[in-house]
Amino acid sequence: MDYEEIEYLLENKKLLGQKGTTGTQASFLELFDGDLDKAKQIDGLICEKMGYDSYFPVSGQTYTRKYDTRVLHALTGIAQSAHKFSNDIRLLQHMKEMEEPFEKGQIGSSAMAYKRNPMRSERMAALANYIIADSINPAITASTQWFERTLDDSANKRISIAEAFLAADGILDLYLNITDGLVVYPKVVEADLLRELPFMATENILMDAVKAGGDRQELHEAIRQHSMAAGRVVKEEGKPNDLLERIAADERFGLDESKLSEILDPKKYVGRAPQQTEEFFAEYIDPILEKNKDALAIHADINV
């Protein structure tokens, strides 16, 4: 979505053109001896010279600052996505399922030398927060303009627009660096999955027990009670999840451990996720990569 927004802005970018002091092109009419057609043509010629396809047909001394809000909106979209990405990486690193790159001489924490803090993701989140907060600047500037413009326009624009682009550039460098060196620990992922899977599988267990002749309402209440009890064992006693053993021992379900193990095959719970991922790459990502293949060799070194 962020890519599409940027592509739309690039395809529909506009130049002010040459409108003169107040946007009326009066000075050019004077220069061209009142030739209206020639004064109009100069906008198109300037656009062509500067690589633009179109210009703002009507303006004051400056182009409408609403355009700046559209540009910042695109950068804010990148910031939103980046922040979400950084949050997920930080959570997964906390769970020890995944880690961002960690340099040989990197210090993980100033106080605790053993730590491997996700410092790149933290920096990404900080920059994203800045852009999101910064995005209100052009909106305020555009909404408070007087007839023409006042100096709050140029002073604010020179700071807010430039710094938003610099921050977005920093975010994208961090994106490149993190994804280049991302480390995944499949065994930890598997252990976490198998620990939680019995709770996730209760709906399937209920359906199979009902097919075997059980009463749905009675079994639903039994699963609730067993789940609460198993959860207490895990959280209060630090013991393994024994939900399956509890259900296997409950005659109302009519399911032995072999049948429950069959129900707990993780592949039964992924749905179309593998196909969705492959289709997404084939239909959306691969065409973008092909269009921008010259940029695929870009890498970023980050010092933290």
Model confidence pLDDT, tens digit, residues 32-86: 999 999 988 998 999 999 999 899 988 888 888 889 999 999 999 999 999 999 9
pLDDT at 110: 56
- pLDDT tens string 124-162: 999 999 999 999 999 998 888 887 667 777 888 889 999
pLDDT digits (tens, 9 = 90+) for 262-279: 888 888 888 899 999 999
Query: What are the tens digits of pLDDT across the range 172-219?
Result: 999 999 999 999 999 999 989 888 888 888 888 888 888 878 888 888
Residue 124 is predicted with a pLDDT of 96
- Dihedral angle, C-alpha 246, 249, 252, 253, nearest 10 °: 70
Q: What is the pLDDT of residue 104?
A: 57
Say whether pLDDT at 112 is over 70: no
How many C-alpha atoms does 302 have within 13 Å on its Cβ side? 26
Cα–Cα dist 7/69, whole Å: 16
Q: What is the pTM of this model?
A: 0.81
Q: Give 147 or 30, the one with higher predicted confidence.
A: 30
Average pLDDT score over residue span 103-115: 56
Question: Which pLDDT band, with edges at 50, 70 and 90, does 163 fall under?
Answer: very high
User: Nearest to residue 238, comparing CAs of 282, 195, 181, 281?
Assistant: 195
Model pLDDT for residues 13-27, shown as the tens digit of each residue = 999 888 888 888 898
Structure tokens, 152: 């709050």
217-237 pLDDT, tens digit each: 888 899 889 889 988 988 899
Concatenate the DSSP letters of all residues of 80-148 into one string: HHHHHHHHHHHHHHHTTSEE----TT--S-SS-TT----HHHHHHHHHHHHHHHHTHHHHHHHHT--SS
Q: Is pLDDT of 99 > 90?
A: yes
Q: How confident is the model at residue 115 (pLDDT cuts 50, 70, 90)?
A: low
219 neighbors 140 (Cβ within 8 angstroms): no
